[in-house]
Structure 1
Amino acid sequence: MTAAAVVSQADLAHRPQFGWINGLKAGAAQLIVLHHLAFYGPMSDYVQPLWPELLGWLGGSARIAVQVFLVIGGFLVAKSLSPAGRPGIATPLQAIWRRYAKLAPPFLAATLLAAVITPVAGIWMQHDSMSAAVTLGQLSAHALLLHGVLGYESLSAGAWYVAIDFQLYLLTVSLLWLGGRVAGHRRRHWLMPLAVTLGITFSLLYFNLDADWDNWAPYFFGSYGLGMLAWWASDPTRKPGAMTVLMAMAAVPVLLALAVDYRSRIALALIVACALFLFGRARTPSQGAAWNIINTLGRISYAVFLVHFPVSLLVNALFISYVPLEPEWQALGMLTAWGASLAAGAAFYRWVEVPLGRVMGGVVAHLAGRPALVSR
């Protein structure tokens, strides 16, 4: 790391950021944590009489907040791999390895944490939300991000999403590579938007209608592709007519799919894509209490997503064992689990995700034969 530019966390914290994206990520992450707290119990079972409608909504409809991450994922992958929407990618295997090196190490660390905490929580509590004893095959499948495909039980709620995110990235890289092969040296600016629109259409009208596909990327590509089109459509260098066409290419297959079979999760994905088209590229100040909170919560959202479930399990176990089983006391337990999940996510981000990112960034740069640029 000789000529490397090492960017400190303090420097990044004072730069203008994609605040609206951070806000969406922060809000969606909170809903996912609360959804799992409401859905898995057992504290929520005791709180149900106190807040029946709220817990009913959190345990059911709130799960569609994951669509926010899917659309943002597509938006940011287009920004990273094909900012102008052109086909082709110079180093597809390196791009895939970089993505794996970013996602997998903190995910595996969180998986090991869940494997340790689950039997500890089992000292005080037996509940159907708890996984059985971990096996080497199960851990190996998680490390390869193939647990869902290979039929292994996830060791933590939300583990499926990390594997799907990697699959979607792999699918996008493949589309870009194939598009580059088809286009050759010709400038076919509309090839990738058309390919993504076709992918959205097949996803929403076929794969997303069959839950048997929910361990595979095509099931989720409709939402992911909407994010990609939103990035390309929001390019300020494009003419208004081109922007309109691109957003129409996003909206038409979604509206058709909703007419065939209305799915609130897909309607939400379209709303998020429209929001990103309007505000996704906007840089917001990093100063001020409100933006500091939003940017911090957005920054640690992946860490919170990774660690909240084992933390919530432990809090559940302690509260139902040592605290009165009254709705008010168990409601306090749910709020405690929520706060503990945020605190654990912040600690995991600082002490695990960031250091692992630096190490893996150096490894990736070394394998690519260039100086390391370590930034977050």
Structure 2
Amino acid sequence: MDRAAPAAKPAASRMPLLDAVKGLACLLIVGHHLSRYGPLPEGAASLAPDVFDWLSQYGRLAVQVFLVLAGFLAAGSLAPDGTLRIDRPLVRVFQRYGRLVMPYLAALTFSVIVAALVRPWLDDEAVPGPPVMAQLIAHGLLLQDLLGFEALSTGVWYVAIDFQLFVLALAAIGVSEMLQRRWAMRAETSRWLMAGFVFLLVVSSLAVFNRHAELDVTALYFFGSYGLGMFVFWIGRATRQSTWGFGVLLLALLGAAALALDWRSRIATAWITALAVAVIQHLDGLKPSAWPAMGEPLVRLGRISYSLFLIHFPVLLLVSAVVSHFMRVTPWIGLSGLLATVALSIGAAILLYRFVESRPATWRGVLGLFAGLLVCGAVVSLISA
């Protein structure tokens, strides 16, 4: 499956501009997938070949926006003042896992059902094969790529990477806290140590790990973009103009050096996003009062962007199967099917957000949805055998 997707559910309700940016980025990623999979884009592409080609080639870069914003929000959640503010890290790790996997497991179950339904009608490589139990368990534990299993839906790699990135960031901050306590450091020294640990991870990712495609199943490959977002948050907390200026200069030099070493459009996108957020934050552009009411549709879309990302692919498979089975896919029929997919996906995302994603993460909820995925997958496997 293609590797392009948005980030997990954000905690940015008080920063509507970030929600709006996520809404726009999510549409680009959905457009990227809709331009590549199934018979519908093959028919519709002739109506706007440049648009479809651009989405197919570059729409995936929007994932870098989500990586930067995820890092920004993680820094605000874990260490807004440069010190870890979490008493029980393992509990926080489960909370993150739960928030990620509850809508993810629900969407995966839907995807398994849809794939089974459309398989007789839609002969396309985008349709996942019947799942096996080990594959289902690996997906539920966010280990599918590390263990080499076929993805049950497009973009599920991102959910696993998001979780890995969060744990890696928490570990880096936690190690600095442990050293601070052992060496009885002053708070200011501790903050610099923490920033140093994160900076080391960012540099290692940008200069080494991100240049090896085989490592793209690990957080180390993506931490450069994620860490840039973390630095942007901390730079924005600077009380002195000189400190903010130094932080932005360091950010600019870091990105420029990484691109001079090895030009990567994904890193360029993350770098530009990080610099833009740093400047907008400095100008108080992230406050609710700075965002005009005319952007409310994008803000609302951004708040359901994770659910939209999770659910749009099975909706695309379902619409593609129905349209291609009952009609000849002409350019206008293909375009109408894609537009219907977008509308139905947004409707499904609203339901997924309301009934699953917005609910508190609990062990009972996670285990119930995990069991539902396993049972559904087992039934589909038996029927498909």
Global fold match (TM > 0.5): yes
**Which letter maps to 1:194?**
G
Partner of 1:194: 196
Q: Is the alpha carbon distance of 1:303 and 1:88 closer, same or farther for their aligned partners in structure 2, counting shifts above 3 Å?
A: closer
Contact 2:68 2:225 in 1 (8 A): yes
Cα deviation, 1:117-144, whole Å, max 9, x if unaligned, reads: 1111213211001111011111111111
Q: How far apart are 1:289 and its partner, in Å? A: 5.5
Match of 2:341 in 1: 337
Task: Map residues 77-88 of structure 1 onto 2, 5 A cutoff.
Answer: 77-86=74-83
Structure 2 equivalent of residue 239 of structure 1: 240
Per-residue deviation at 1:87? 5.5
Measured against aligned partners, the alpha-carbon deviations of 1:93-118 in whole angstroms (never above 9, x if no partner) come to: 11111111111121111111111111
Say whether 1:34 aligns with 2:36. Answer: no
Aligned equivalents of 2:341 and 2:197: distance in 1?
Answer: 43
**Corresponding residue number in structure 1 for 2:378:** none
Match of 1:373 in 2: none
Name the structure 1 match of 2:255.
254
Determine helix, strand or coil for the equivalent of 2:288. Answer: coil
Aligned twin of 1:326: 330
SS in 1 for 2:36: helix
Q: What is the match of residue 279 of structure 2?
A: 278
Q: Distance in 2 between matches of 1:84 and 1:251?
A: 22
From 341, 356, 362, the counterpart of 1:352: 356
1:268 equivalenced with 2:265 (yes/no): no
TM superposition shift of 1:204: 0.9
Measured at CA, do residues 66 and 35 of structure 1 come closer, stay the same or move farther in structure 2, by a change above 3 Å? same
Q: Is the 8 Å Cα contact of residues 98 and 361 (structure 2) preserved in structure 1? A: no
* Normalised TM-score (structure 1): 0.87
Q: What does the per-residue CA deviation read over 1:343-365, in whole Å, with 9 as the maximum and x for residues that have no partner?
A: 1111111122223x2656999xx
Paired residue type of 1:222: G
Q: Classify the secondary structure of the residue corresponding to 1:277.
A: helix
Distance 1:37 1:301 in 2: 16
Separation of aligned partners in 2, 1:296 and 1:171: 30
1:180-236: CA deviation from partner (whole Å, max 9, x where unpaired): 12222312221122222221111011111110000000100000000000000011x
Structure 1 residues 92 and 358 mapped into 2: Cα distance closer, same or farther (>3 Å)? closer
**Match of residue 225 from structure 2:** 223
Which stretch of structure 1 is more off in the superposition, 134-143 or 88-97? 88-97
After TM superposition, the structure 1 = structure 2 runs for residues 107-186 of structure 1, keeping only pairs within 5 Å, are: 107-184=104-181, 185-186=184-185
Residues in 1 aligned to 2:317 and 2:365: alpha-carbon distance in whole angstroms: 35
1:213 aligns to 2:210 (yes or no) = no
Letter in 2 for 1:203: S
Unaligned runs of 5+ residues in structure 2 are 1-11, 367-385
Q: CA deviation at 1:335?
A: 1.1
| Alpha carbons of structure 1 residues 288 and 257: separation in structure 2 relative to 1, 3 Å | closer
**CA shift for structure 1 position 16:** 7.4
For the residue of structure 2 that corresponds to 1:146, the secondary structure is coil
Q: Which moved more, 1:138-147 or 1:281-290?
A: 281-290
Cα contact 1:203–1:218 (8 A) shared by 2: yes
Q: Distance in 2 between matches of 1:87 and 1:353?
A: 26
Kindly indicate whether the alpha-carbon contact (under 8 Å) linking 2:13 and 2:19 is maintained by their aligned counterparts in 1.
Answer: no
* Structure 1 contact 102–360 (Cα < 8 Å) conserved: no
Q: Which moved more, 1:183-192 or 1:268-277?
A: 183-192
Deviation string 1:234-287 (CA, Å, 9 cap, x unpaired) is 11x521111122223322222111012111111111111122213346222599
AA partner of residue 132 (structure 2): T
Once residues 347 and 230 of structure 2 are traced to their aligned partners in structure 1, the CA distance between those partners, rounded to angstroms, is: 32
RMSD: 2.1
**1:248, 1:199 → 2: CA distance?**
19
- Cα deviation code 1:307-335 (max 9, x no counterpart): 11000110111111223321111111111
Partner of 1:12: none
Quote the Cα distance in structure 2 between the aligned partners of 1:87 and 1:348: 32
Q: Within 1, Cα distance between the matches of 2:356 and 2:205?
A: 35
1:294 is matched with: 298
8 Å CA contact 1:89, 1:180 repeated in 2: no
Is 276-285 or 126-135 further displaced after alignment?
276-285
| 8 Å CA contact retained: 1:17, 1:284 | yes
Q: Which amino acid aligns with 1:335?
A: L
8 Å CA contact 1:88–1:176 kept in 2: the answer is no
Q: Which moved more, 1:242-251 or 1:90-99?
A: 242-251
Bigger drift between 256-265 and 305-314 goes to 256-265
- Paired letter, 1:346: I
Distance change >3 Å, CA 316–CA 16, structure 1 → 2: closer
Instruction: Name the count of aligned residue pairs.
Output: 347
8 Å CA contact 1:89–1:173 kept in 2: the answer is no
Residue aligned with 2:329, SS:
coil
1:303 match: 307
Distance 1:263 1:326 in 2: 37
Deviation at 1:292, TM superposition (A): 2.8
Paired with 2:200 and 2:235, the residues of 1 have a C-alpha distance of 16
